[in-house]
Chain A
Amino acid sequence: AQRVTQPEKLLSVFKGAPVELKCNYSYSGSPELFWYVQYSRQRLQLLLRHISRESIKGFTADLNKGETSFHLKKPFAQEEDSAMYYCALGDTPLVFGKGTRLSVIA
């Protein structure tokens, strides 16, 4: 069965510290993976997808098929990065993880 696991419900880091939001998936084929971000009381927005291999707002994510992971990283956290982050697996329909709330402390 397709599954996405985000092991941390809450992650707190200090401003300027590195951030890593973990995402592991279970999927039998070649996965399409996404990260979505939701700022306070706003809609979910696509942050990045693995096939584009681009960096958005300083965030990157690398697909590791051996470890079935798609961790989201940023070298220096900013206060405006505080939000809810969801990892999603591209299947029919998309399978979402339960989300990790990132809190960046000034």
Chain B
Amino acid sequence: DAGITQSPRHKVTETGTPVTLRCHQTENHRYMYWYRQDPGHGLRLIHYSYGVKDTDKGEVSDGYSVSRSKTEDFLLTLESATSSQTSVYFCATTGESNQPQHFGDGTRLSIL
């Protein structure tokens, strides 16, 4: 869907380690988003980007940072992972801000 690839698809790591998730898109979409999905909370926006080097915080940005050095890649970094960041992470993209978002397959992250 919209050529969105998330990597890795699964990761298990230990508390305190840094983790970087990658979202790659081939549609030249301007907007890119990172969400986490947790039972009872639905989808919550972590950070989003509205262009290269332009990013903004979402609802649950604490403990996360992002970077977008080129249109096709949006990186999500957990500087020092905690168990509360165990979740499924979804990347999404769209060409215009009020248009439907296209989602990646998700990354299942477990922090022990």
Partner of A9, one of B31, B35, B40, B43: B40
A45/B1 in contact, CB under 8 A: yes
Instruction: Check A49 for interface membership: any CB of B closer than 8 A.
Output: yes
B1/A43 in contact, CB under 8 A: yes
Partner of B98, one of A9, A46, A91, A98: A91
A34/B100 in contact, CB under 8 A: yes
B40/A98 in contact, CB under 8 A: yes
Taken together as a complex, chains A and B put the C-alpha atoms of A94 and B103 apart, in Å, by 13
Instruction: Check B20 for interface membership: any CB of A closer than 8 A.
Output: no
Instruction: Check B111 for interface membership: any CB of A closer than 8 A.
Output: no
In the assembled complex, the CB of A40 is this many whole angstroms from the nearest CB of chain B, namely 12
When distances are taken between beta carbons in the complex, the residues of chain B under 8 Å from A44 are: 43, 90, 92, 103
Taken together as a complex, chains A and B put the C-alpha atoms of A23 and B99 apart, in Å, by 19
Taken together as a complex, chains A and B put the C-alpha atoms of A49 and B90 apart, in Å, by 21
B98/A43 in contact, CB under 8 A: no
Instruction: Check B74 for interface membership: any CB of A closer than 8 A.
Output: no
In the assembled complex, the CB of B44 is this many whole angstroms from the nearest CB of chain A, namely 8
**34-56 of chain A: CB within 8 A of chain B:** 34, 42-46, 49
Taken together as a complex, chains A and B put the C-alpha atoms of A45 and B33 apart, in Å, by 15
When distances are taken between beta carbons in the complex, the residues of chain A under 8 Å from B48 are: 93
B97/A92 in contact, CB under 8 A: yes
The residues of A with any CB-CB pair to B shorter than 8 Å are 9, 32, 34, 42-46, 49, 86, 88, 90-94, 96-99
